[in-house]
A and B are shown apart, each in its own frame.
Chain A
């Protein structure tokens, strides 16, 4: 449960599950074939891998998720900041803003986020 990395193609496959769960594995294979042109064996291989990572689960032929899409990407970002900025979000933001300045809209969103957070805690 510690690895929240996913390749772009894997992410496309994961999206199929997130958007259609709960989904029968056979139906999932059919959709993967349609969208990604994957063979059945490929679908099952990747599914098993994602299940082993703890993101999805395949119980009696039905595939459901163990963490939601939002949570997955949240954890992925967390992992990224942890690995790259030593877990310091300010450091990340500082790095982020050296290349691109924040738009007034984004500044407003950040302000509200911090305000909401302060309210909750």
Chain B
């Protein structure tokens, strides 16, 4: 859930940039047919629906990860551990030798005593977000039910038109079989034009797009830019619909059409999710627009289409990942178990009678990747490349693109290096990974953790092995144990068993306390400080995971 929210947050920020661009474009193209503005909003929606996109060098998106997990989920290992380090360090000499597994035990309980860390900021925000989405969906469902109740006594007229005593403005309800509801107080003169307008809506598919837009808004409710985008989107739909209706009826209909519009306009709430009501949106502007309507010159449409294509290329593609990152991808074959955090879509939304077409599935399916990728703007791409589905692979490459831009934007630096995910038994993975991924030139820091075994009973001991290469030197390396990826349970120092401080292999033992619950997941993530105290940018994925089994 936390990682899902983080993806959502990042996607909404990226989409906001696109939305801002669309607002500007809309102003520039205000003389162009309005269906183009609607199309531009559709592009924003695409950005909101797809967590990943084709990478091109044309992308004007600064980063697909403006908010990385370190920003709002301070792993707080430093805070928690520093209090503990003295006692841990005191035992360091005895822990240097692997054959003293009992040594760490006394220190760990002390470490864990500091464990009741408050829920991270990310968890709190995620919970608030879910509550918001639930509220929005509840509102949608309730207002839909209210409308359905009101038109229960509507009498059939013909085709898809119904007449109702209890409504005062015409609207469309229904997604699969949209019905036009007309108030009985509608004068017969106005009726022709109202019907023309509502039919144009249905022909344009607005009875689908508008609820879909609102659904996206429900998911991204926290972003004010997107609310503005939705309001403008609704307005543009109405303008485009007026244009289409007038096209069908001809110029002579302009005056009576705007009369009908004025007659039907009744002050209503600004954001109404469901009905495509006739007189709802910005009546004055619409009347002006209708009376001034002319078939647009060909070149305006051409310019507008070019603008759409440009927006697509520049903003629907993600920034490309840098070459040197790709080199170190090497051929590490790691099977990531990071997909532990599978989340299901929170809502199967029923909008206006259609349960099948609007779900939040797309965002949920990419949840697993974010566990690793949001913390991995680094060289250790391998971890993410070999995740199980192709969807994840592309997200991974998108995420690795982040580092290049992070260099230009204020760096998201934290002293901790992000963990890499590398489960499976050490013997099998280590031989394959070390030779293939060792960079010939030390182009950047590199860290890889492994653990044996990957599932333990409480009371048993885990052996961690970490390869760290860093031109700036590795000092005071330690391995922190994380519960769920953010809360630190404790840490043990790492001792070097081979190599040197610039390129070495480290090891640490950790005995699982008796009270670790069976079935729970933890991970071990290594961190260190450099000679020059330069902060270590997040490296790798979320640490190497291990599971607790029944005692």
- Give residues in A with beta carbon < 8 Å to B: 7-10, 12-13, 35-39, 42, 45-46
The residues of B that contact A9 with a CB separation of less than 8 Å are: 153-155, 163-165, 184
What's the least CB distance linking B450 to chain A, in Å? 66
Check if B163 sits within 8 Å of A42, measured CB to CB. Answer: no
Q: Contact mask B143-185 → A, CB, 8 Å, 1/0?
A: 0000000001111100000011110000000000000000011
Residue numbers in A under 8 Å from B154 (CB-CB): 9
* Chain B, residue nearest A34 (CB): B156
With beta carbons under 8 angstroms apart, the residue of B153, B156, B184 that contacts A46 is B153
A-B contact list, 15 entries, CB within 8 Å: A7-B165, A8-B163, A8-B184, A9-B154, A9-B155, A9-B163, A9-B164, A9-B184, A35-B155, A35-B156, A36-B156, A37-B156, A38-B155, A39-B152, A42-B152
A7 and B156 within 8 A (CB): no
User: What's the nearest-Cβ distance from chain A to residue B189, in Å?
Assistant: 15
Residue of A nearest to B152 (CB): A42
CB of B165 within 8 A of CB of A10, answer: yes
CB distance from B153 to the nearest CB of A (A): 6
Asked whether, in the complex, the Cβ of B153 is within 8 Å of the Cβ of A42, the reply is yes
Please indicate which of the listed interface residues A8, A13, A38, A46 has the most CB atoms of chain B within 10 Å of its own CB.
Answer: A8
In the bound complex, residues from chain B placing their C-beta under 8 Å from that of A46 are 153
With a 10 A CB-CB cut-off, give which of B155, B156, B165 has the most chain A CB atoms: B155
With both beta carbons as reference points, the residue of chain B lying nearest to A36 in the complex is identified as B155
A8: nearest residue on chain B (CB-CB)?
Answer: B184
- Interface of chain B, main secondary structure: mixed
Q: Which of B153, B165, B166, B184 has the most CB of A within 10 A?
A: B153
**A7-B166, A8-B165 given; A37·B155 CB < 8 A:** yes
Please indicate the chain B residues that have their CB under 8 angstroms from the CB of A37 in the complex: 155-156
Supplied contacts A37-B155, A38-B153, 9 more A-B pairs, CB within 8 Å: A8-B184, A9-B155, A9-B163, A10-B153, A12-B155, A37-B156, A42-B152, A42-B153, A46-B153
Compute how far the CA of A46 lies from the CA of B184 in the bound complex, rounded to whole angstroms. Answer: 16
Contacts of B166 in A (CB 8 A): 7
Residues of A near B184 (CB, < 8 A) are: 7-9
Least CB distance from B449 to A in Å reads 65
Question: Chain A contacts of B185 at CB under 8 A?
Answer: 8
Q: Which residue of A lies closest to B186 (CB)?
A: A8
A12 to chain B, nearest CB (A): 6
How far is B154's CA from A13's CA once the two chains are assembled, in angstroms? 11
The docked-state distance in angstroms from the alpha carbon of A39 to that of B165 is: 16
CA distance A8 to B165 in the complex (A): 6
A100 CB to closest chain B CB (Å) equals 15
CB distance from B45 to the nearest CB of A (A): 35
* A66: min CB distance to chain B, Å: 21
For A45, the chain B residues whose CB sits under 8 A away are 153
Nearest CB of B to A16, in Å = 11
Chain B positions within 8 Å of A38 at CB level: 153, 155
